[in-house]
Amino acid sequence: MLGAQAIAQRRRTAQYNCPLGAPPLALCACPPLARASPWRSKRLNPPAAWPMFRPLCSRKPARLAPLALSGIAPLTAHPTLTPLDSAAASFPGKRFVIPASDPLRLDSGIELGPVTVAYQTYGTLNADKSNGILVCHALTGDHFVADRHPVTGKPGWWEAIVGPGKLLDTDRYFIVCANVLGGCMGTTGPKDMDPATGQPYGLAFPVITIGDMVKAQARLIDHLGIGKLFCVIGGSMGGMQVLEWCSAYPERVFAAVPVATSYRHSAQNIAFHEVGRQAIMADPQWNGGAYQAAGTQPQRGLAVARMAAHITYLSETALHRKFGRKLQDRAQLSYGFDADFQVESYLRHQGSTFVDRFDANSYLYITRAMDYFDLQAEHGGSLAAAFEGTKTRFCVVSFTSDWLFPTSESRALVHALNAAAANVSFVEIVSDKGHDAFLLDEPEFHAVLGGFLNGAAEHRGLKFK
Amino acid sequence: MTGPLPLAAQGRPRASIRVDLQAIAEMIEPGSRVLDIGCGDGALLDYLAHEKNVDARGIEISQAGVNACVAQGLSVVQGDADTDLKDYPTRGFDYAILSQTLQATWDPKAVLEHLVRISRRAIVSFPNFGVWHVRLRLLFGGKMPVTGTLTSAWYETPNIHLCTLDDFVDLCRALDVTIEQAMVLDSVGRPKGLQAPGRLANLLGEQGLFVLTRGG
C-alpha cells in the first residue's frame, strides 16, 4: 500500500495541475507516458455484447480489458493500489464531525451520520465574522484551494486567485473550502467505513445531491461561528453549490459568484456522465463497487471516465492549437493503435494520473449529484421562485467557448434572477479555453471578479487596512 | 505607468458626469431603486450609487461595456432592451432610465410599455428629429441629416426609429402613458427653458427628456 508521500513521489514527474480536474492546457507539455509505457494492443477487439442499461460490470467484461486504456497499462502494475483509502485520513487540513446524534438529513430521506467534513481555511475571521468566503470546488476538486496537493504535490487548484494580495485576498478575507460530501479527500464518502457494517460503504453509501453537499457545508459554517458569509464562490459543480446556497440559505449569503455553471444539469451533460459511470462499472476491477474488499481498483474504467470528461472541459480550438494532428514521438503513423497522436497521449496521461488521486465510487456518486441538480424543477418549474425575495448580490460568469455549461444557461439564470428583482451582474468572458477557463489565467475574468468583490465589500461595509 | 492613480480611478470623489446625464440624475430621489437600460460605461450608475445612495442596476448590450462596469463594482448584465425587459417584475424599480436608446430599439412601443410597467417612473431621452435644422437639411439638402445628436450617416446609424417630440407625445397618449414632466435639451444636454411638450419645443429642442408613468 502506498502512502501519500510515496504517491507524490511517484507522480513528481507529472507536469499538470488538475483541479477540476482539468489541467491548464496552456501549461501542458505532452506527457512522456506513451514513451515510458508503449501501448501494445495488437488489434481492435470490441466487446461482443454490451448490456445497455445496467452496470456493465462485474461478471464478464473481461473482453474490454485489452481494448480499454492499454495506454495506462503501467497502472496495472499496482492492481491493489488504494492510495486514498489509507492516506485521506492523514491528509493535512482540518476536520469537523457531524455527529450521529444529529445526522445530516439527506434529500433521499436517509439520515447520515457521523459525517466527517474535511476542510481548509486561509486568512483570519474578523471580529464581527463578516469577512467569510466559502469556496466551492468542482467535481474532482478538493479543499486544497491554495495548498500543495497531498497526493499530486502540485499547487492548489485556485492558487492563481487565492492568497495574500490576490483577488480572494487572504489578508482581507477568511476563506473556507470543504471537500464535498461523497468526496474522497477526507470528507465522508463511499470509500469510508460504514459504521453499521464495519466495511467500506461502497454502493451502500446513500445517493447524495448538491443540496446535501450544501447542507454539510452549512453545518461547517455554523461550526465556524459564521452567520452570514460575505461571499460564496465556485465554478462548474462549485457554481451549482453556490446557487443552492443562495436558494436554500438566502439570508446567509451576501454575495454570490456562480462561474461556468448552470441551474440544472443538461441532458448532454448527464449523457457524458453516464459514459463515465459505465466505463467505471464496466471495469472488472470495480467488483460491483466492492473493490476495496476485493483488493482491486477500477483504474482503467476510472481513467476512461476521466478521459471522456476531460474532453468536455476543453474546446476544439484549444485542442487544435495545442495538439492539432501532431504525432507523438514519431515521424509517421504506426498503422496500429499506439498513441500516434499527441492528443491521445495527453488524454491517456490525464486518465492515468487521475486514478491516483480519485476514488471511482466517489466519481459515481458526485456525478450523480450533479445529474440530479435542477433548481427549476425543485421550485415548481419556476427558476425565479428559487430566488424570490433574495437580497444577495450575484455575479454570474460564463465563458464563450464553454460548451459544457454554455452562456445560454447562464443567461437563463440571469433572466430568472432579473425576474426575482435580484441584484445581478452578468459577464461573458471571451476565451477559447473551454469550460476550464475559470481555473486558468483569464485576466478579464479576474478583473471583473476583483471589481465585483470590491463593490460588494463596500456595500457590506467591510473595512480593510 | 507608475505613480498614484488618477483621482477618477481611485473611486472618490466622483468626476462630474455628462450634462445630459446630470439632468437625469437630478430627477432621481436618493435611496431609490434604479435600472439604467443601455448604461454604457456605467457613468450614471456609478454617480447615482455613490452620490445618491441608489440601488443602481444596469443593462448594456455591449459585452465590453458590461465587463468594464462590473469591474468597477457596478451591477450590470449583458442584455438588450428589446428582448430582456420582459423578464423584470412589475414595479420592481422606482426609476427605469432609457437614455438616448429608444430610437435604436426594434420595437420602441413595446419597450416603452415595459418601461412604465417595471418602474414607477420611466425617464426617457432621445434626439428630436423635428428640430428646425434637421427639417431644413432634409428640405434643402435632400439628404438624411447628420448633426451633433445624429452623428452617423444613414447607412451606419444605429438609430432605426427616429421620431420628433410630437411623435413621442402621440405614442404616449396612445399607450395611456402619463407625461409627468418634459424638458427639451440643447445638443450637449443642457436644459432649454422652453414649455414642453409644445410646438416651439418640437421646433427648437435638440433632445427631449420625459418622465413617464402609468397610473394604477
Is B84 inside any structural domain? yes
Helix, coil or strand: residue B28 = coil
Q: CB contact, 8 Å: B83 with chain A?
A: no
Is B102 inside any structural domain? yes
- Signed CA dihedral, A73, A76, A78, A79: sign only: positive
pLDDT at A33: 36
Residue among A394, A427, A460 with most chain B CBs within 10 A, to mutate:
A427
CB A398 within 8 A of CB A260: yes
Identify which of A115, A111, A112 has the alpha carbon closest to the alpha carbon of residue A95: A115
Confidence grade of residue B14 (pLDDT, cut at 50, 70, 90): low
CATH code at position A393: 3.40.50.1820
- Name which of A138-147, A218-227, B14-23, B180-189 the model is least confident about: B14-23
- Specify the number of domains making up chain B: 1
Report how far residue A150's alpha carbon sits from residue A136's, in angstroms, rounded to the nearest whole number. 19
For residue B125, the enclosing domain spans 13-213
pLDDT at A57: 35
Residues of B in contact with A393 (CB under 8 A): 75
Is B1 inside any structural domain? no
pLDDT at A100: 96
Torsion angle, CA of A98/A100/A101/A105, rounded to 10 degrees?
A: 70
Mean pLDDT by 10 residues, chain A (465 residues): 43 36 37 34 32 35 35 39 59 94 97 97 97 98 96 95 97 98 97 94 98 98 98 98 98 98 98 98 97 96 98 95 94 93 96 96 98 98 97 97 97 96 95 96 95 95 89
Torsion angle, CA of B17/B23/B25/B30, rounded to 10 degrees?
A: 140
Helix, coil or strand: residue B141 = helix
Is B64 inside any structural domain? yes
Tell me the percentage of chain B whose pLDDT exceeds 70. 93
Identify which of A114, A61, A72, A25 has the alpha carbon closest to the alpha carbon of residue A353: A72
For residue A369, the enclosing domain spans 1-465
Residues of A with CB under 8 A from a CB of B: 393, 395-396, 414-416, 418-421, 423-430, 444, 447-448, 450-452, 454-456, 458
CATH code at position B188: 3.40.50.150
Nearest to B70 among A414, A419, A427 (CB): A427
pLDDT at A5: 47
Residues with Cβ within 8 Å of A287's Cβ and at least 6 positions away in sequence, in order, are A57, A58, A293, A294, A296, A298
- Specify the number of domains making up chain A: 1
**pLDDT at position B30 over 70:** yes
Is B207 inside any structural domain? yes
pLDDT at B129: 96
Report how far residue A216's alpha carbon sits from residue A206's, in angstroms, rounded to the nearest whole number. 14
Instruction: List the grid coordinates of A290.
Output: 466492492
**What value of ipTM does the predicted structure carry?**
0.85
Hey, how many other C-beta atoms are within 10 angstroms of the C-beta on B3? 5
